[in-house]
Amino acid sequence: MSTPSSLVGTQDWDTAHRAVADAYFPHELAALDGRADVDLTMRTVELDGVTIGRLRWGTAVSIACEYPSAYEVNIPLSGRLHSRAGHGELVSTPGTGTVFTADRESLITNWTADCQVIGVKFDAEYLEREADRVLAAPLRRRLTLPDQINLETDDGASWFGLVKALSAQVREPGDLLANPLVGPQLASAVTTAFLLSVSDAAPDDVGRLRPGMVKRVLDALHDDPARPWSLADMAGLAGVSVRRLQEAFAEFEETTPTRALADIRLERAGADLERGGVTVADVAARWGFSSPSRFASAYRRRFGVSPSSVLRG
């Protein structure tokens, strides 16, 4: 099965409207300068969750859209793109791109007649899943992204160079992009590079970057902290050596894997103590501490109180 790609050139309004809606989103289209003619040129390629294309209307238009179940980034190669969504009026020119959030009504108030755009569409489920893999914190159903991306930073320029090169390669089915083994790899590369390029500009609640291997280990420790985890178990789950895992935890978590596990266990132990109906020895045994005294010492260091004082209420 080949990667779907398309080339469109038309001077008919209805044909142009349908072509862009099919490739990107249903939308409301209006001419701004009173001209009756349009000269749409568009070429697109779909890469397993990511659509990349170049399009130009040939006349000034406005576009209203709700971006159903997908995010989009519109990057002018020429001209200007005026839009409004949530944070007032925004203008993107070459060197910047406008970011549209999934399921949020937005209006492109003026796509100028000389504006050629690279449009990158991410299926919402795909981008959110990749973000959960790449970013540190668990993410909401909808990502919080900046309204505009700066393509002159190092990360922004790297991502833009990638999508610009891919959009320039779209010709006819049968080229490299049509290979079903290539498309998913390119989609992942484009998506990861985009997330890296917006991570510094995004609000704090989007999360700090960490390798996927660290997140996999932390998720597993949270899911089953009572398991008798060894460093070898954790490294095997991460797919790296014990030394590399320890280095990654030191760099991104400022702790060790075993200390991270101990902190998770202490938090769970604290919840047991607050519920009551247990003894310190019961809790110590449940959460893998070798003795009640060792558990009490670790708990006091972590929380500043003794387990017995918690039990006393």
Q: Dump the DSSP string for 186-198.
A: HHHHHHHHHHHHH
Parts of the chain belonging to CATH 2.60.120.10? 5-206
Task: Please tell me the predicted confidence (pLDDT) of residue 178.
Answer: 61
Q: What is the 8-class DSSP label of residue 24?
A: S
Domain 5-206 homologous superfamily, CATH: Jelly Rolls (2.60.120.10)
What token pair was written down for 81?
């793109």
Residue 29: strand pairing partners: 63
Residue 52: closest CA among 182, 172, 168: 168
Parts of the chain belonging to CATH 1.10.10.60? 212-311
Amino acid found at 252: F
- Give me the phi and psi of 244, to 5 degrees please: -65, -40
Give the Cα-Cα-Cα angle 259, 262, 268 (nearest 5 degrees). Answer: 145
Amino acid found at 176: L
Contact yes or no for 259/290 (Cβ under 8 A): no
Task: Please tell me the predicted confidence (pLDDT) of residue 176.
Answer: 60
Task: Please tell me the predicted confidence (pLDDT) of residue 180.
Answer: 65
- DSSP calls for 116-150: EEEEEEEEHHHHHHHHHHHBSS---SS----SEEE
Contact yes or no for 231/258 (Cβ under 8 A): yes
Q: What is the full per-residue pLDDT of the chain (313 aa) written as tens digits?
A: 345 667 788 999 999 999 999 999 999 999 998 766 899 999 998 888 999 999 999 999 999 999 999 999 999 999 999 999 766 789 999 999 999 999 889 999 999 999 999 999 999 888 887 876 665 444 445 677 889 999 999 889 999 999 998 888 765 444 566 666 677 888 888 998 998 888 754 444 344 445 678 888 998 999 999 898 988 889 888 888 888 888 888 888 889 999 999 999 999 999 999 888 899 999 998 998 888 998 999 999 988 999 999 988 7
CATH code linked to domain 212-311: 1.10.10.60
Residue 149: strand pairing partners: 97
CA–CA distance, 274 with 313 (Å, rounded to integer): 8
CA–CA distance, 299 with 313 (Å, rounded to integer): 16
CA–CA distance, 107 with 120 (Å, rounded to integer): 17
Task: Please tell me the predicted confidence (pLDDT) of residue 252.
Answer: 81
Q: Where are the beta strands (DSSP E) in the chain?
A: 5-10, 28-31, 40-46, 50-56, 61-65, 70-78, 81-84, 89-92, 96-100, 106-111, 116-123, 148-150
